[in-house]
Structure 1
Amino acid sequence: MRLTGASKLYDKGSATHEALRSVDLDIHRGEFTAIVGPSGSGKSALMKMLGLLEAPTSGGYRFQGVPEQSLSDEQRLWLRRRFFGFVPQEYNLLRTHSLQGNVALPLMYRGLSPERCLTAATRALSLVGLEDCGRKMPDELTGTEHGKAGIARALVCNPSVLLVDRASRASDQPLCPDIGTLLRRLNTEHLITVVLVSQKASAADWAQRVIHVNGGAVEHHTTHEAASALH
């Protein structure tokens, strides 16, 4: 994933907000990267751009060497479905569905058979350590289990890139150690590229590299060891 001089503008009524300005960034296959910055720094806009949810207003983005601007809407959708798993800030599990049913939903929406959907959901739950919780309802889950369920739902389509948005969720709390350890295991054992967006510098406890964002610009990069020594 490569951004070159990427900027993002949003219209805010009569005004224009520059969420990102002239960002140059490479995220390599198999890397665990944390994007860290205060509220309004541009990190969520950056994640949306990386995940082909939004296009840069100017500059360029290449995914697997393919320029984003050359893609049709249908091609963007295909790439998102094929390569990306998204873990949003709010997990939004359906209270009327079991955990297994919730995790299977992305595949059900694609028209796969119930058997294939449930088999894939069982595998995804096993990857996050919830193999014994498939029949539980969302109200029966702990907070950590909710977090793992959100990750399992993102994994059910077997993505190669996992985008985890923690930009404002419990912003006064560090990332739960169980979730951080799980993300690192998915990265190291299953070779999934992980991009974690967070306000907390403690994200460096799990990431190999930390991208510090402020005012819509990348201020600097640090490695896991250097970032951990700062907090």
Structure 2
Amino acid sequence: MKKLYTSFEEAVVEIKDGMTIMVGGFGLVGIPENLIKAVREKNVKDLTVISNNCGVDDWGLGLLLSNKQIKKMIASYVGENKEFERQVLSGELEVQLVPQGSLAEKIRAGGAGIPAFYTPAGVGTPIAEGRETRVFNGKEYLLEEAFKADVSLVRAWKADKLGNLVYRKTAQNFNPMMAAAGKVTIAEVEEIVEVGELDPDEIHTPSIYVQGLIVGKQEKRIERLTVQA
């Protein structure tokens, strides 16, 4: 059985100053909302955060950003956060932008034990400046090294007590690959069921990748709400 945390404060105890953490989600969909808030309350500093984006000004990873807890952000998209822009322009925040497909594969490769791979994405752009390239079948490819994390914080729909995870629809996004790429993976879930209740064919993340579980009620904020007049 995996460790079942009773508080979010306890769930993030492994996170220390200067660590590299991965945080699941795409926009505000599938983010581990309560684990992020617990990291803010813990007030750890100088974090390197790997995530698709950095939330919005008042939610998600934006909470850590406004609290000056992120030293370096590795992401593919950063356009929804004014505080992010301010910190970058003032030199307070280091940013590494990665093409979204490359970001996904760098994380997947890290979880699979693959140290690096070649991709055509980024060849001939500033991303490739000063980096190794190689030609295969007459086409140039850029070497990308895999990403791993000290701790991965992911969000799932259901888990069993062994730590097997099921994600729901688009909230799956980066979560499965990040769960595999963390030395320690903590999953925030909406429900924990008994062993045997999950159909083996529906499990997305096997329990071998998960070290801890906690149940959390989600606000599930909408990043951009569009309604009819």
TM-score scaled to structure 2, two decimals? Answer: 0.32
Between Structure 1 and Structure 2, the one with more helix by share is: 1
TM-score of the pair, normalised by structure 1: 0.31
Greater length-normalized contact order (CA 8 Å, ≥ 6 residues apart): 1
